[in-house]
Amino acid sequence: MTKVTKKRLLEIVEMAGEVPEEYRQKCFEILLQNELKDGSAIELDMKAKADGVQEKKPPTKSDFTIPIDVKAFLSQYGLNEILLWKVFLVEGAEIRPIYKLATTKKAQVQIENALLIALETAMISGQFQFTKEQLRLRCASQKALDAANFSSILKKNTKLFNSITNDKPISLSPDGKSELADILEKFNG
């Protein structure tokens, strides 16, 4: 057996501290045992070795594949993919909106949210569409829901949508995609 220095013991404690809590004690014991056995430095990635548990690395934007329809939309309007990361947080297959709309007028907030939800859906499924319920929930979460005029706001802007029905997803028209491109341009600055 060799003698373990105070410095080396602190290094072992530090290495064990980097492992998930439920494996720290076992990790510390293994490292100390190995150190006492042969005195050699242990350069192991204990996160991967402790009881065979391997920590998942967090997904990155590079793990996400932008659907071809979204790429075509961006290309058609001369928009850079970087705009997507200014509007949405993407990890693996999960997408969350991070945008803050500049307008406070409830009708305009509703329309901009409708278009951005359609883009969010397109990033998942390739289809530029949304449901009334998605839109209602998003507007409510932003305290911008005009419940009394919700349907009439959509009807006044029918040129942006292919069809508006209660029970089916609403898809964007070419005018809607053009308006969406204009909204994305606002995030470019």
The tens digit of pLDDT for each residue in 110-150 reads: 999 999 999 999 999 999 999 999 999 999 999 999 999 99
CA dihedral 12, 14, 16, 22 (to 10 degrees): 150
Q: Is 8 exposed, middle or buried (0-12, 13-18, 19+ CB in 10 A)?
A: middle
Beta bridge partners of 95: 90
Thinking of the domain 61-186, which architecture would CATH place it in? Orthogonal Bundle (1.10)
Overall average pLDDT of the 51-71 stretch:
65
Which band of pLDDT confidence, cut at 50, 70 and 90, is reported for residue 57?
very low
Overall average pLDDT of the 25-51 stretch:
60
Residue 38: per-residue pLDDT: 52
Residue 40: per-residue pLDDT: 44
Which band of pLDDT confidence, cut at 50, 70 and 90, is reported for residue 166?
confident
User: Who wins on pLDDT, 2 or 143?
Assistant: 143
Cβ atoms 89, 98 nearer than 8 A: yes
Residue 37: per-residue pLDDT: 67
- pLDDT of 89 over the 70 cut: yes
- pLDDT of 43 over the 80 cut: no
Say what the pTM is.
Answer: 0.67
